[in-house]
Amino acid sequence: MERLAGDCAVAEDKPAGAAGVTLQTASAHLAKLEAGGLLAQRKQGRHRYFALADDQAGRLLESIMGFAANRGHLRARAGPRDPALRKARVCYNHLAGDYGVRLLDRLVADGDVTLDGDDAALTPAGETRMAALGIDLPALKAQRRPVCRTCLDWSERRSHLAGSLGEALLARFIADGWAKREKDSRAVRFTGDGERKFMALFP
């Protein structure tokens, strides 16, 4: 199964091997998840690919994963094997991986973002900091979705920053030439200079 958009999307043959079941059993389970509105299917040639149906399905899965993680039920092999994907990747439209978690950790430690369970909020100090980074906060606040939201990281097993702010920050890093999307991959590659600047802001 290939991950397509968010940290939770898949292709048909690999779930069977990962779960230790036959392809027919995996197909039956995927069909039930699709019928239940959790997955959406995309056909490409002879292959079928599945991804989470929408953000609501993603939040539901993140909640279940967080519930399991808090009770010690972790997978033996979490996250991608590719070091580049573990370091920095796109999750839906925001930064994930080690760099995504580092970003949120630093914002919380500096008092720019407050956490209340799974809820996140930008503080006045955080608004000042984001404005200095060139983030158009009035435009973000005018959107119907949350400015800040936590998202359980697939490889780090901790939260990274989502919401319209998470999207805006990743777009800013790319626009400023700090990083770029790798072609045909979810990996985000930081340049040497971009990495130094990122680490200076979010050590």
Instruction: Identify which of 52, 66, 56 has the alpha carbon closest to the alpha carbon of residue 5.
Output: 52
Q: How many other CB atoms sit within 10 Å of the CB of residue 66?
A: 17
Which of 56-60, 96-100, 128-132, 180-184 comes out lowest in average pLDDT? 56-60
pLDDT digits (tens, 9 = 90+) for 89-144: 998 889 999 999 999 999 999 999 999 877 899 999 999 999 999 999 999 999 98
The structure's pTM equals 0.65
pLDDT digits (tens, 9 = 90+) for 63-81: 887 787 777 766 554 556 6
Instruction: Write down the pLDDT at residue 3.
Output: 37
The C-alpha angle 110, 113, 117, rounded to 5 degrees, equals 120
What is the rounded CA–CA span in Å between residue 58 and residue 51? 10
What is the rounded CA–CA span in Å between residue 165 and residue 167? 5
Give the model's confidence band at 4: pLDDT under 50 very low, under 70 low, under 90 confident, else very high.
very low
What domains does the chain contain, in order, with CATH numbers?
A: 9-54 (1.10.10.10), 83-201 (no CATH)
Q: How many other CB atoms sit within 10 Å of the CB of residue 63?
A: 12
